[in-house]
Amino acid sequence: MWEKLLGSGVFARGSNPLTKTILGVSLIYGQFRAMAVVKGHIAGSWVFPGLVNTADDLRTALQEAIRATNFPGQLVSFLVEDTRLMHNYHLVPQMKQADLDRFLERIAIQEKATEGPVVWRYRRAHQAKERIGLLLDIWPQSLVNEFITVCEDLSLRPVHLLPLSAVFVDQVRMLATSTKKVLLLVTQMAGKVVFVVATGDGKPLFDRFLSSPKDEVLDPERIGREIIRSVLFAQQQLGKQITQVWVMGETEELSAERLQPYVELPILPSPMKPDPSYWIWVGVMLPATHSSNFIPWEVRTAPIRRVVSKFVVGMVVGLGCASITTGGLIEGLLVRERGISSALSPETQALVQEKRDWNLRYQTLADKQVWVKGVMDEEPSPVIGWFLGYLPDILPRGVTLTKVSLAVQEQGWGLELRGEASKDLRLSAKALAVFEQRLMESPYRVNITKSWRDTWVEQLRQGATSSDDQQGRPFLIEGQIL
């Protein structure tokens, strides 16, 4: 049933489902499943007959999956659940980004499930009562290295390395009738019952997982108690009222009909009937900049940087050839000048002037060659292009940018955004607040040094207001991309 939604754009936040060619892989407690997506359509799927527990097992499984599905591309996306991975919800006081990073580093070391170095990713959840909700994922560094190394050995380009918890929250967007409603999604995956609380626009509040004992089935009464606990936590700790409970992927034990007697809120069955391949598809369609992605930025952008390097080298070679050709032409002109200068005095003067012109051109080419060498020695940072391409995705309706300035500073990139918002004070303030929050929560983690509010306060102190001649209310935001 869910395959009918392919191409509808329901899952494709930040990606184009009609053109994507990628191999989606789920590795759930050693069970390997692959799905080849070619230009947005499922071309084939395959399941490894054994368990994948080592890097060699992963290499073998990927090779056989590529052959079995006739996968023609290089991109690969991983969705992983394992006993070595930790996922926890934390409610922490508001703090500066640098302090938050140090705090999470300590938490990751304390909560890690294995020995050795770890890496961590986090998603910001709902903010309430001067506290920030965080969904923290902690992985062994060695496990991340294994996935990257195996992909390099097979000439594959890893786009995603996601925990299973990353795919659930986006399902709320399909179920909500209003972005302001708060919903509780209950589903079952990998032997766990998952409880996800989020707003209708897909912003998470928190999630919980209920594991069943081995070879035992969780009874509906216990699941009902966990639903009630989630409702009370949202109300008491976050000040949010859950209005509906949805059950996705009903089974004999986990169904709206069997859970309803234990919960006062209405419990509705989801029209979506997910299977293991469905969750692979959801993971594939997530953007590569997803905050839970464990593939480092350097690995994801390596192909782009290699292309830029080849282009610069090619340009240098081309200019070098042009310089040699120009030098030969000038030498020929000099020989010609010496041969006829004694007989043709007027023509000799013309050749002397032509020689000077060619010498000037040669010097210009030499200067360009020096400039290109400098470009090759120090590659220009692609941050500007990526950030400018990212801005339209987060710009709220009614906000227009008139100037975007990025300048290199000692500790990052200085950012200046000028533009106009709606002349309606309430609408423009709300839109600019959303825009500023998206900048701070974006993958670039912009540190706002001068808010649009500061600009408006200065304008009011100086007696300036938005006149009838202006199409909108001007604003200025300054910050740093660290």
Quote the pLDDT of residue 8.
45
- The confidence score (pLDDT) of residue 12 equals 43
Q: Per-residue pLDDT tens for 84-128?
A: 999 998 888 888 999 999 999 999 999 888 889 999 999 988 777
For residue 304, the model assigns a pLDDT of: 60
Q: What is the reported pLDDT for 55?
A: 94
Please tell me the predicted confidence (pLDDT) of residue 56: 95
pLDDT higher than threshold 60 for residue 343: no
Distance CA 76, CA 38 (A): 12
15, pLDDT greater than 60: no
Pick from 209-218, 233-242, 462-471 the range whose average pLDDT is largest: 233-242
DSSP H helical ranges for 8-127: 55-69, 97-111
Enumerate residues 6+ apart whose C-beta is below 8 A from 474.
Answer: 418, 419, 420, 455, 466
Task: Report which of residues 259 and 190 the model is more confident about.
Answer: 259
Among the residue ranges 324-338, 419-433, 454-468, the one predicted with the least confidence is 324-338
**Burial group, residue 398, by CB count within 10 angstroms (0-12, 13-18, 19+):** middle
Give the confidence band of 10 by pLDDT, cuts at 50, 70, 90: very low
Structure tokens at 397: 């309706």
pLDDT band at residue 47, thresholds of 50, 70 and 90?
A: very high
Q: How many CA atoms lie within 13 A of 140 on its CB side?
A: 14
Residues 6+ apart with CB under 8 A from 99: none
pTM above 0.75, yes or no: no
